[in-house]
Every structure is written in C-alpha cells, then in structure tokens.
Amino acid sequence: NAGVTQTPKFQVLKTGQSMTLQCAQDMNHNSMYWYRQDPGMGLRLIYYSASEGTTDKGEVPNGYNVSRLNKREFSLRLESAAPSQTSVYFCASSDNRHNQPQHFGDGTRLSIL
C-alpha cells in the first residue's frame, strides 16, 4: 500500500519554465490537497479538491493551476516558474466523510533559479 505518491522528488527549473507536479493516492480518498512549505514555516494550502472534477483555492493559489484528473490523481502546474515558488511541495489526501486525518506524500523539493 503506497499511500500518497509524489513525482518527481527533486526538480530544478529556470525562471519562466513550466512544470507539472504529479500526485496519486491509492486509499480511495475523495479529498486531495496541495501545500507548500517554505524554510522555517508550516505548510500553506495552495489548492484543494473535494472530489473528482472539483477544485478550490487555498491560502496561496497565485501562480498555480491544478487538475483533478480522476479520483486517484491531482496535479499541480506552474505555468511560468518564479524564484518565489522555490519550496517543498506536499500532496495530501483524506477521506472526506467529514473530519478525517490527512495523509501526506514525501514531498517534491523544487528550486527555481
């Protein structure tokens, strides 16, 4: 049981390049999330998807787009990467039978030069 799988684990981009971060979960969860974690800080929610076909903005959505491809997969896209988007990105999922714990992937460390 892999849980939440993120790819890639590491990526270096140049300013202006585009990139899609992939996330898949095998726990049959309805809800999926994308967070970013900056040095010395907690996680901040970028986007959220309560079910296939639905997405909603979190605290810091600017500069990002998301796609809930199916129940298993939720991707995060940077259309034109900026140095301020250098961060560690985490995907999470939960069973949205209201009030369930979130389970996290191992993260993608993204550097933008």
Applying CB under 8 A, which residues contact other proteins?
31, 33, 40-45, 48, 50, 56, 58-59, 88, 90, 94, 96, 98-104, 106-107, 109
Closest distance of CB 83 from other proteins, Å: 21
Candidates 106, 98, 113, 112; CA nearest to 25 is 106
3-state class of 67 per DSSP? strand
Candidates 17, 8, 5; CA nearest to 74 is 5
Closest distance of CB 110 from other proteins, Å: 13
Closest distance of CB 22 from other proteins, Å: 18
3-state class of 85 per DSSP? helix
Residue placing its CB nearer to other proteins in the complex, 31 or 85: 31
Residue placing its CB nearer to other proteins in the complex, 44 or 77: 44
d(CA 96, CA 18): 31
Closest distance of CB 5 from other proteins, Å: 13
d(CA 103, CA 101): 7
